[in-house]
Chain A
Amino acid sequence: MLKENLVLIGNGMAGVRTLEELLKLAPDAYNITVFGEEPYGNYNRIMLSPVLASEKTIEQIMLNSEQWYVDNGITLHKGKKVEQINRARREVIASDGTVAKYDRLIIATGSLSFMLPLPGADKQGVIGFRDIKDVDTMLEAARNHQHAVVIGGGLLGLEAANGLMKQGMDVTVVHLLDTLMERQLDKPAATMLQKSLEERGMKFLMEHSTAEILGNERVTGIRFKNGTEIPADLVVMAVGIKPNIELGKAAGLHCERGIVVSDTLQTITDPKIYAIGECVQHRGTAYGLVAPLFEQAKVAANHLAKYGIAQYRGTVTSTRLKVTGIELFSAGDFIGNDKTEDLVFKDAASGTYKRLVLQDNKIKGAVMYGDTVDGSWYFEMMKDGTDISAFRKTILFGQHNLGDSGHNPETRVASLPDSAEICGCNGVCKGDIVKAITEKKLFTLDEVRAHTKASASCGSCTGLVESLLAHTVGGEYSATPKTKPLCKCTDYTHDEIRSGILKHELKTMPAVRDHFEWKTPDGCPTCRNALNYYLLCAFPTEYVDDAQSRYINERVHGNIQKDGSYSVVPRMFGGMCTSDQLRAIADVADKYEVPTMKVTGGQRIDMFGIQKEQLPAMWKDLSAAGFVSGHAYGKAMRTVKTCVGSEWCRFGTQDSTGLGVKLEELTWGSWMPHKFKLAVSGCPRNCAEATIKDIGVVCVDSGYELHIGGNGGIKVRVTDLLCKVETEAEVLEYTGAFCQFYREDAHYLERTAPWVERVGLEKVKTAILGDAANRKALYERFLISQQPAQIDPWKARAEGAEANEFTPILIEA
């Protein structure tokens, strides 16, 4: 088949990112030709400010060398401006007469500095701040001249002014309004920013409107509308950008402020022509930041690769100022309205200011000055719509204040030394991450994970890695997209897929993958395990479990250890045991020469160092002695930890051990989104540590307190009190109902603690407490799901189920 021709106009970040995404999806689909007006390869435009400030060199901000274009078979016409698009003949014509035919065309012409139409604006030394040429002009001026004036006190203007000041110039910023960066900051933050810039030597003329630029050939000064004048050898106009739509307009494409595109980034006039980046207008918005443009690139590439399932629905953006030593962050609606509330922290002496705009206990916007470490955290919660009522009192003090052992107060990521360990699971230091980000030009969390493994295991350091990314890339790093797809095989989210399974009665994995147009035939380890669970949860009596979509631990009902051997945990209900049971375990340990035994944190006995082929025989013996599997290796209910309770303890108020046994008999064998643990304490001394379990029962004189959503793992979280009940029967019913609600609502691999934080305690309370009928229905569904689940997998394996799995093939030769 003949390859189609794809032409890209504009060799900038948006266009080239689209090509990179396209090459990942469909490397051989097109003959690709790129036209770039600038005489360079592709560079990181958002890093021009650090170049101007001499913190980086041009080489350091190049993204793709010319060799990259060669390696990928892309024809690059650099330094050639496309002057015409002939839509009838489907070709583009460049200034030097080069003609390129296209089947599909991408316009990524970016934006231009908005130049004020002032008298004298055409004089030498009057420039914008957009490209390497502008930076060169500024550096040149700094060598030979003294006075610089920057018109515009926005993000770009202040970055330019800072750079020029660093080059030794005397810089005045002229701004029309009375506060700086009014599109990103509220008044208190803007005032603090202005003060610290003034301390560095920057001068400001606020509420000044320029009337005329003075001079003969070269600029010599500026006159304002109020009649005053100041000297100037260089004038940088940074009053905004305008989408560069001339070419699109001339080609007859519908343009408003930018070239108007649909949710697939196709121009609404001509579907063969795509437009992307700062030159486009999508649902009324034209973006000037990098995160949206990367999201757009992904969608356009998906469409170009003819998958056609991705859609762009707009991006929530955040801003940081790339001026070294000034920490500033803003996102969302930071002004608010009469329906919103403010949380404000201001310490003028230390130069710290934080403001969160809330509506219904959800973050709508944030402005931070001086201390922005938690910016990414707030931003994530804002995008996810997290209910913050549980930690509203401390939220302004940051993530490390949540009693979170993973982030101690010292983890102020910017001030950490390079040797500081960021990811404890994989032993990755700050220096490694920063090096990978700069050398490999990484922009997204996923890329950092892939290259460094940081935050790729338990994920507790995700916030830190995102902060590092934001600090290192300097500005608008490519934040996690608004909605996270289940995995790379699909664009749909966990929730969309779960509700689709129920709504369309999709009862097999291929049916789900067909319905949601999976990109891979078999799925991947992430989605296969998740889908297997979702189907099992939705159709407990019908769905046939898929062993090959389970992690090895669940497939063979043992815990794989680092040398490939397994460990085995017999279930001891409520931690109770008899001398006969202990003897039986000891006999099995002798017979199979178990090298190590250990009592676990959940009051069970773990036997280590078992070879896989020994497992069925060993289980047979354990089954014969009356044991079932402890499920200590599954995304399943694991243990019910107990204290001794009223039977022996001086303080025990209820039979906590007996209740623990009943709870374990109720819940054992149930598959869960993640591992799931219970505990019952006989009195508020809480010897069973019930307040860090997924469900904790604390017995008191008058009944039972039910606690939920605790976690003693990576990120310690104390439970929330769900309610208090009076009878054991109620404990069982409420527990079953909670289990089922969690099973049906949480994402696969989401433990109860983050789930409760994500959906909010109120939602859980409403489901369990608000409506007795609903609670009973949940409980009923849980009991139904338990009927096929409470079958001892060990007994089944010992009797020969999946025997192939355990029998190696021996070859003598």
Chain B
Amino acid sequence: MSKWIEVVELYKIPVLGSRLIKTRDMDIAVFRASDDSVFAVRDACPHRGGPLSQGIVHGHTVTCPLHNWKIDLHTGGALAPDRGCTNVFPVKIEDGKVYLQLVTEDEASAC
């Protein structure tokens, strides 16, 4: 497994909002829910690649801004009856800082 990378301080992600992380390979959206839990998913809706980071967060779900698909932030999977999923990346909070593990696309868990 690859190492943990510090990406941002938690307070710099708005509650029920997101920050966009650009890496060499892809864009990753880091979300902060109202209970301060943090999620990282690939910033592409399984439907037509919409930028999930720009969507509205509710519970542990984000709604894609393009066509209203709802994505479960735990699994990256679309909520039924839609089908499909996007990659999920390991993420953790330590001392108020958010750390992300940049696994390869194959390693990244997806439902």
Residues A522 and B34 in contact in the complex (CB < 8 Å), given A450-B81, A552-B55: yes
* Smallest CB gap from A425: residue in B: B67
Instruction: Tell me whether A808 and B20 are in contact (CB under 8 A).
Output: yes
Which B residues lie within 8 Å of A808 (CB)? 19-22, 27
* Smallest CB gap from A808: residue in B: B20
User: Which listed residue, A451, A522, A556, A804, touches B81 by the CB 8 Å rule?
Assistant: A451
B72-111 with Cβ < 8 A to chain A: 81, 100, 102
Instruction: Tell me whether B14 and A548 are in contact (CB under 8 A).
Output: yes
Residues A562 and B16 in contact in the complex (CB < 8 Å), given A450-B81, A522-B57, A809-B21: no
Instruction: Tell me whether B54 and A564 are in contact (CB under 8 A).
Output: yes
Q: How far is the CA of A548 from the CA of B16 in the complex (A)?
A: 6
Which A residues lie within 8 Å of B21 (CB)? 808-811
Instruction: Tell me whether B14 and A524 are in contact (CB under 8 A).
Output: no
Instruction: Tell me whether A521 and B59 are in contact (CB under 8 A).
Output: yes
Instruction: Tell me whether B7 and A528 are in contact (CB under 8 A).
Output: no
A475 adjacent to chain B (CB < 8 Å): no
Instruction: Tell me whether B22 and A525 are in contact (CB under 8 A).
Output: no
A547 adjacent to chain B (CB < 8 Å): yes
Which A residues lie within 8 Å of B7 (CB)? 809, 811
Give a binary string over B57-72; 1 marks a CB under 8 Å from any A CB, 0 the rest: 1110001011010000
Which A residues lie within 8 Å of B48 (CB)? 562
A549 adjacent to chain B (CB < 8 Å): yes
Give a binary string over A500-531; 1 marks a CB under 8 Å from any B CB, 0 the rest: 00000000000000000000111111001100
Instruction: Tell me whether B24 and A812 are in contact (CB under 8 A).
Output: yes
Instruction: Tell me whether A813 and B8 are in contact (CB under 8 A).
Output: no
* Smallest CB gap from A561: residue in B: B66
B46 adjacent to chain A (CB < 8 Å): no
Instruction: Tell me whether A547 and B58 are in contact (CB under 8 A).
Output: no
Chain A-chain B contacts (Cβ-Cβ < 8 Å), number: 84
Instruction: Tell me whether B59 and A811 are in contact (CB under 8 A).
Output: no
User: Which listed residue, B14, B34, B68, touches A804 by the CB 8 Å rule?
Assistant: B14
Give a binary string over A778-813; 1 marks a CB under 8 Å from any B CB, 0 the rest: 000000000000000000000000001100111111
Residues A547 and B17 in contact in the complex (CB < 8 Å), given A525-B58, A560-B54: yes
A418 → B minimal CB distance (Å): 21
Q: How far is the CA of A548 from the CA of B34 in the complex (A)?
A: 11
A611 → B minimal CB distance (Å): 11
Residues A813 and B56 in contact in the complex (CB < 8 Å), given A522-B16, A548-B14: no
Instruction: Tell me whether B65 and A520 are in contact (CB under 8 A).
Output: no
Instruction: Tell me whether B68 and A525 are in contact (CB under 8 A).
Output: yes
* Smallest CB gap from A527: residue in B: B58
Instruction: Tell me whether B66 and A551 are in contact (CB under 8 A).
Output: no
Residues A528 and B58 in contact in the complex (CB < 8 Å), given A522-B16, A551-B65: yes
Which B residues lie within 8 Å of A560 (CB)? 51, 54, 65-66
* Smallest CB gap from A489: residue in B: B58
Give a binary string over B9-44; 1 marks a CB under 8 Å from any A CB, 0 the rest: 000111111011111100100000111000000000
Instruction: Tell me whether A520 and B22 are in contact (CB under 8 A).
Output: no
Which A residues lie within 8 Å of B58 (CB)? 520, 522-525, 528
Which B residues lie within 8 Å of A451 (CB)? 81
B55 → A minimal CB distance (Å): 7
Instruction: Tell me whether A811 and B54 are in contact (CB under 8 A).
Output: no
Q: How far is the CA of A167 from the CA of B55 in the complex (A)?
A: 57
Residues A810 and B22 in contact in the complex (CB < 8 Å), given A548-B17, A548-B56, A548-B57: yes
Residues A547 and B14 in contact in the complex (CB < 8 Å), given A564-B50, A564-B51, A564-B54: yes
Which A residues lie within 8 Å of B59 (CB)? 520-522
User: Which listed residue, A450, A529, A809, touches B8 by the CB 8 Å rule?
Assistant: A809
Give a binary string over A744-786; 1 marks a CB under 8 Å from any B CB, 0 the rest: 0000000000000000000000000000000000000000000
Which B residues lie within 8 Å of A811 (CB)? 5, 7, 21-24, 100, 102
29 contacts between A and B (CB under 8 A): A451-B81, A456-B68, A520-B58, A521-B35, A522-B16, A522-B58, A522-B59, A524-B63, A525-B56, A528-B56, A528-B58, A529-B56, A547-B17, A548-B57, A551-B65, A560-B51, A564-B51, A804-B13, A808-B22, A809-B19, A809-B20, A810-B21, A810-B22, A811-B5, A811-B7, A811-B22, A811-B24, A811-B100, A813-B5
User: Other than the known A524-B58, A808-B20, A810-B21, what 18 A-B pairs have Cβ atoms closer than 8 Å?
Assistant: A451-B81, A521-B59, A522-B58, A548-B57, A549-B16, A552-B54, A552-B55, A560-B54, A562-B48, A564-B54, A805-B17, A808-B19, A809-B7, A809-B19, A809-B21, A809-B22, A811-B23, A813-B23
Q: Chain B: residues with CB nearer than 8 A to chain A?
A: 5, 7-8, 12-17, 19-24, 27, 33-35, 48-51, 54-59, 63, 65-66, 68, 81, 100, 102
